[in-house]
Structure 1
Amino acid sequence: METAVVATAITVMGLMVALGVFLSYKVHITTETKQLLVVVVLNIAVPSVILNGVFNTDVSDQLLRQVGIIFGLSIIFHLGAIVFALLFAKIAGFRSTFAKRMTVLAALGNTGFIGIPLCATIFGPTGGLLAAIFDAGLDFVIFTVGLYLLQSGRSFRLKQLKSLINLPLAAVIIGISSAFLELEPPAVIRQLVELLSGLAAPLAMLYTGILLQQLLRRTGFRVYPQIWFPLTVRLLAIPALTLTILPFIPLEEMTRNVVIVLSGMPTFMLAAILFTRYTDDEDSAVMTISFSTILSMGTIPLVVYAASFLF
């Protein structure tokens, strides 16, 4: 994995984020506009990235094995990240409820909204597909263990799992199934999916910039004192731990590179919604998302550069 290629992709995406900040500063962007962008990215562009990855990849037994491995690895990775962050939070002296909230912000990264378009840009269609599988594992952990930590004593309910049913996951199932059954999509569908997949990275980054400008305008650059914890664990400690463990796990080069990049993602954006619904501490999630996203533009190339000495 070329560090220069990753750095270039991150720089371009950073410029898109800056453009989003500029647009949000110059143009009044309503809640409905932001919701439209989210719907387009998550329900049209990201599923297209996944299907484009399937259509442009030879779905062999080897790829199917990689899909199974990266899904299982994602679940183990995120559960391990939660345990690591929770232990670190206890050592830092955080009280029980606050420790659980910090654990969620520190352990779970934005592997979907940012990670899938980024991996598709760096590694091509197959990279986007594998990133989507990794994100599916994260979703499972978020809506089970993640919600359990945030609800502070409330019982877990099976209906929470309905959030796992979404269009990106449907695209994974449909794409892999059609490839396994050797169903060739019509040329018009292939071209449509390819064109729509190109929307994912630009729109996701523009939305990120819009969100950052509005969040920072509302909260300023004021931060809560403990923000060092999720930023340090999410952007540095977990990627470092990942780089320490990966050499001992036999993985295909593409799978390993995708995991390395996704290990350095900023805090997942859904945290703001979940904190609003299940806690009284929305600002902590908002600030952590904002600052981790900004800082990740520098830490992701650093993680990849460190990985170049190991692989």
Structure 2
Amino acid sequence: MSEKQIDEVSGVETTGHEWDGIRELNNPMPRWWVWTFYATILWAVGYAIAYPAIPMITSATKGYFGYSTRAELQQDLNQAKASQMKLTDLVAAKTVQEIASDPALREFAIAGGASAFKVNCATCHGSGASGGPGFPNLNDDDWLWGGDLDAIQTTIAHGVRFESDSETHASEMPAFTDVLEPIQMRQVAAYVWGLTNKPSNPALAEAGKQVFADNCAACHGEDAKGKMEMGAPDLVDAIWLKSRGEDAIFRQVASPKHGVMPAWAGRLGDATVKELTIFVHSLGGGT
């Protein structure tokens, strides 16, 4: 029987193994740790038997209990979808006025509309619906085609200047380069800017008043407050869709920019259009 070797520094028995003069100490793990380790092995074996655990070629073992977190999640999702479908069917069946007057249905429509807005509308109108150059701010009360529920629904469903939809809003400001002299366009630009700001040349603005009356009032109104039925913007509210300043107004008179909004009815369906209508109306600018 070989003699036990004791490490001189630690006083611990060695295993007898030695590498390059270094001896391995015989420090076994605590028994409670060993038994815990064995217990985890037994637990793993039991878990593999009881639940889906062992991968196969195209699937996995079903387990004794047949439990699956994926199946449970799918069941929850199916229940949620079924619940949503009931409300979605109600949205599709009711008018936007009826939806708005039902608190629970209105809340559901706003939530659905907010989600649809982020996916389909935020690219142009911004994530907060505040718009940008050429894209209307949907939070204010300045509306080109009307801000009540019916008007918003029509605009979303059929779009603006969208050629593929026969019911789309259609209006275009003509280019006045063939109608007005450059000085007249400068005059009317100064006049329109002067409605809400100080014009660069009061004399130009004064002359532009008659130019406006003769060429622009038919659409924008004699008071320049616009006409929703024509999509003509209000020019006295200091809200500018394209850009600000006399030069910008001059360019718009000479060579107008015309935005196009797609018709969403065919893409999203009637229920989603109604949800978007309720959502946009709820932003605070709806009338």
TM-score by length of 1: 0.24
- By percentage of residues, which structure has more helix? 1
RCO higher in structure (CA 8 A, sep ≥6)? 1
